[in-house]
Amino acid sequence: MNQPSKSIIVLHCIPSMNGGGAEKQLCKLVTALKHYQVESHVCLLEKGVNYQALESSGATIHLLKVKSNYSLDICRQINDIIDKIKPDIVEVWLSPMYFFGGISAIKKNIPFIFYERSYPGVDMFTKHALPKLFIAHKSKVILTNSEAAKRIWEKFVFNKQKVIFIPNIVNQKISTNENPRLLPKPYSAVYLGRLNESKNVKILIEAFALVVQSIPQAILKIVGAGPLEKELKQKVINSNLTEHIEFLGYTQNVSETLSNAQLFVSLSIVEGMPNSVLESAFHGTPMILSDIPQHRSIFPENSAIYCKADQAPEAAAAIIYGFQNPEELKLMSVRARNIAQNYSEENVVPQFLQLYNKIVS
């Protein structure tokens, strides 16, 4: 692996360690980088469900004292941290820290990476995108975690070479086990991810109501948390599905849940890099996916069953087909798992090391 020629200090600025994909990805990244000549520091506004994982990562944590997540005093505190640790690179993740971290890096003349963690297509054309565009243009590198986001950003910058795509780390090590799955429970499905509008869990619940009409023993487990959790639980109650749909909350260890499920279902409307889909593929769980570019760009037709994201009857038909054709789905899952191996630590971390070396050289 291409290790840095000298020790590199990287300051990551992120709002919290809540249960999203960015927070999990940061934990995986700094955990991996501790084995190389990279000294990781993480600047936070608040803790969150992934804070314990961050504490175990080997990174130095700087928890800011703020009354509001939009206080201008955040910049002052980040400036003080920069003066103390003298980072070679600042890496800014998510709003509002991409702004505060970026401003501090500009003031201190530190090269910084603007890390785009979502699909920016719609947001780029609103007034709320102006601070984001300003910070991104001032950055040394605009880093995306999907090819789709990379193509969008290339339209908004003069120097397309500064836009770089590096995929997420999905698993910590490449597995040599060809058959890691337990015997899945018949007619069991799982959803893994945030409970927000873009994940389209409302349609999934409506689809599963139709599935239950054909397969009364069908079970769906929903793993995750988010702003729609209360509303979605009420929808399950109103639909008389409490015996068929179970909310498990957020968990860092999804291996057993994925391995026990016959199917994984994601009906997302839009994605950045779909972490939960890749995790499912790596665990060998057959997948029912919404037909969106972010899914299609990773998994070809023969590695998952696709359906329209906004059509509950079509999604239900896909789930029923998956339940009733396990051998065909098993072949698809093998193909998907082979693809997911490309997102291992061994394949992704060298790309970060190469990027850091290039910036500091």
Edge-to-edge order in the sheet of strand 112-116: 60-63, 38-44, 8-13, 89-93, 112-116, 141-144, 163-165
Q: Is residue 136 part of a domain?
A: yes
- The verdict on residue 250 lying in a domain is yes
Task: Convert the pLDDT of each residue in 296-340 to its tens digit.
Answer: 989 998 999 999 999 999 999 999 999 999 999 999 999 999 999
Which residues in the chain come in under a pLDDT of 70?
A: 1-5, 121-128, 171-182
Give 279-320 as a DSSP string: HHHHTT--EEEE--HHHHTTS-GGGSEEE-TT-HHHHHHHHH
The CA distances from residue 64 to 15, 68, 71, 92, 239, in Å, are 10, 11, 11, 15, 44
Is 121 a domain residue?
A: yes
pLDDT value of residue 133: 87
Is residue 179 included in any domain, yes or no? Answer: no
Confidence (pLDDT) at 176: 47
The CATH number of residue 288's host domain is 3.40.50.2000
Name which of 207, 332, 334, 225 is nearest 282 in CA terms: 334
DSSP sequence for 171-232 = BSS----S-----PPTTEEEEES--SGGGTHHHHHHHHHHHHHH-TT-EEEEE---TTHHHH
- Residues 337, 350 within the same domain: no
Q: Is residue 15 part of a domain?
A: yes
Residues 65 and 28 in one domain: yes
Residues 264 and 280 in one domain: yes
Same domain, 18 and 157: yes
pLDDT of residue 255: 83
pLDDT for 175: 47
Please indicate, yes or no, whether residues 353 and 323 belong to a single structural domain of this protein. Answer: no
How far apart, in whole angstroms, are the C-alpha atoms of residue 6 and residue 11?
Answer: 16
Q: Are residues 99 and 208 in the same domain?
A: no
Do both 105 and 46 map to the same domain?
Answer: yes
pTM of this structure: 0.82
Domain with 284 in it: 188-342
CA atoms within 13 A on the CB side of 9: 11
- Cα–Cα distance between 168 and 171 in angstroms, integer? 9
What is the structure's pLDDT at 129?
76
Structurally, the chain folds into a number of domains equal to: 2
121 and 232 housed in the same domain: no
Q: How many CB atoms lie within 10 A of CB 49?
A: 18
> Which residue reads 């999905």 in tokens?
170
Which tokens in the block code for residue 357? 């070396």
209/128 same-domain check: no
Q: How far apart are CA 77 and CA 347, in angstroms?
A: 35
Is 323 contained in some domain? yes
Query: Does 62 reside within a domain?
Result: yes
Structure tokens of 76?
């002052």
160 and 209 part of one domain:
no
Residue 128 within a domain: yes
pLDDT at 267: 97
Q: Could you tell me if 143 and 113 are in contact, meaning their C-beta atoms sit under 8 angstroms apart?
A: yes
Task: For residues 164 and 213, state if they share a domain.
Answer: no
138 shares its domain with 258: no
CA atoms within 13 A on the CB side of 200: 22
